[in-house]
Amino acid sequence: MTRQALAPEYLRIVPELEDFCPPAKVLDKMVYSPWTEGKLDEMLANSGVDTIVVSGGETDVCVLGTVVGAVDRGFRVVLAEDATCSSADATHDALMALYRSRFSEQIETAGVEEILAAWP
């Protein structure tokens, strides 16, 4: 899919989350990793943010780029395991296993309810 071929409503944040923006911020990106273009680094600079909670589509593509980049930058990374998905179940499952095993020291996984319950 390309931006030119999609209806504008498919590029907006879902209506249920619009009321949170602001204070929440939305970052549009044109590549898999949100770190590549530098906009996220700029957005987070001097913000005091030390933890990134990640959810999203394509566990094995965009989510992977996001969590690895966040780890590289020293953030605490929490992956919302029931708020991620992929177009391929096999690679989604494989990446979730990788996040939980190989990256268990760098990436925490938890369900949305658990994350919200722990929110200060």
- Cα separation, 59 vs 67, whole angstroms: 10
Domain housing 50: 19-118
**For residue 91, what is the domain's CATH number?**
3.40.50.850
Q: What percentage of the chain exceeds 90 in pLDDT?
A: 70
Residue 15 — pLDDT band, cuts 50, 70, 90? confident
Residue 6 maps to a domain: no
Residue 95 maps to a domain: yes
- pLDDT of 42 above 70: yes
- pLDDT of 69 above 90: yes
Structure token digits, residue 100 = 């939980």
Residue 67 maps to a domain: yes
- Cα separation, 98 vs 80, whole angstroms: 14
- pLDDT of 120 above 80: no
- pLDDT of 98 above 80: yes
Structure token digits, residue 73 = 């930058």
Residue 30 maps to a domain: yes
Residue 83 maps to a domain: yes
* Number of independent structural domains in the chain: 1
Sheet containing strand 51-57, edge to edge, reads 51-57, 76-85, 107-110
Convert the pLDDT of each residue in 73-93 to its tens digit: 999 999 999 999 999 999 999
Residue 4 maps to a domain: no
Q: What percentage of the chain exceeds 70 in pLDDT?
A: 99
Residue 1 — pLDDT band, cuts 50, 70, 90? low
Average pLDDT score over residue span 13-40? 87
Entry pTM = 0.85
Residue 75 maps to a domain: yes
Q: Which residues contact 11 (CB under 8 A, 6 or more apart)?
A: 3, 28
Residue 76 maps to a domain: yes
